[in-house]
Amino acid sequence: MSEPEIDAVVFDVLGTLVDEPGGIRAGIRALDPSLDDSGVEQLLSLWQRHIDREQRRIVAGVRPYLTSDLLDLEAARLVADAVGVGDPAAVAALARAGRRLTPWPDTVAGLARLAERFPLIGLSNASRAALLDINAHAGLRWHQALSAEDARTYKPDPAVYRLAVSVSGRPPERLLMVAAHAWDLRAAQELGLRTAYVARPVGDPPAPSDRFDLRADGLAALADLLDQARGRGRRGPRS
């Protein structure tokens, strides 16, 4: 990949830049401090399955669009019901756990480094309000942050990726989509975006058949790869 091919970098947020499961775990522990690790993981799985299922139903047109805030509230009620907590304030607090997410250790410095060279666009399934809180809590640096709420659907619906294409004013092939989720990158790839997989403790690793443009162990490694590509792109022909 040479430098002129990339005009802007588009980042998935949840899981790629911040520890979403960790934030929800913390919310579950606050809801019921008596839970052991196994109990917390079971409830986290309950939450994740609900969100994944309902987002898929919305993308498929089976269910009318709801913001991620309302889906999180549904998931929080399921978790609270499972442990016998009926306090509406406690349920609301749990629903907001997905806004208090810790960035991965390399996230803030990596974004700052990449922002010196590229416009950075966040592209998240989180609602506009949730994305604002996530960005503020984690200290994420963007030139533009986009929510799937603006497309009234969820990734991997192509309409979400088109938001980044439209806002950037660039053709898809000049945007680099970065994510820790192979499914996210496959959908971006179908629309013509370039793709970079970044490994995280959570996410969806690539399958053997996946052919992404770049693969990196973190944002520093990704920045190194893009620096190397720029160096190759600037070399002139040998005489």
Rounded to an integer, what distance in angstroms lies between the CA atom of residue 159 and that of residue 62? Answer: 17
CB 111 within 8 A of CB 141: yes
Cα-Cα end-to-end distance for the chain: 23
Residue 232: the pLDDT is 56
Instruction: CATH number for 20-99: choose from 2.30.29, 3.30.420, 1.10.150, 1.10.1760.
Output: 1.10.150
Task: Give the CATH superfamily of 3-19+101-234.
Answer: HAD superfamily/HAD-like (3.40.50.1000)
> Over pLDDT 90: what percentage of the chain?
92
Query: In sequence order, which residues have a C-beta less than 8 Å from that of residue 156 and are 6 or more positions away?
Result: 59, 183, 184, 186, 187
Residue 1: the pLDDT is 47
Q: How many helices (H) and strands (E) does the chain have?
A: 9, 6
- What backbone torsions phi and psi does residue 28 show, to the nearest 5 degrees? -65, -40
- Does residue 229 surpass a pLDDT of 90? no
CB 183 within 8 A of CB 206: no
Residue-averaged pLDDT of the chain: 94
Q: Which of 236, 80, 51 is nearest to 154 (CA)?
A: 51
CB 137 within 8 A of CB 100: yes
Q: What is the pLDDT of residues 161-177, one digit of tens each?
A: 999 999 999 999 999 99
- Does residue 158 surpass a pLDDT of 90? yes
Torsion sign, CA atoms 163, 164, 167, 172 = negative
Domain ranges of the chain: 3-19+101-234, 20-99
- Does residue 2 surpass a pLDDT of 50? no
The residue-averaged pLDDT of 54-75 equals 98
Q: Is 29 helix (H, G, I), strand (E, B) or coil?
A: helix
pLDDT band at 223, cuts 50/70/90? very high
pTM for the model stands at 0.93
Higher-confidence residue of 36 and 203: namely 36
β-bridge partners, 214: 196
Query: In sequence order, which residues have a C-beta less than 8 Å from that of residue 104 and are 6 or more positions away?
Result: 17, 18, 19, 200, 218
Rounded to an integer, what distance in angstroms lies between the CA atom of residue 227 and that of residue 79? Answer: 45
The residue-averaged pLDDT of 118-140 equals 97
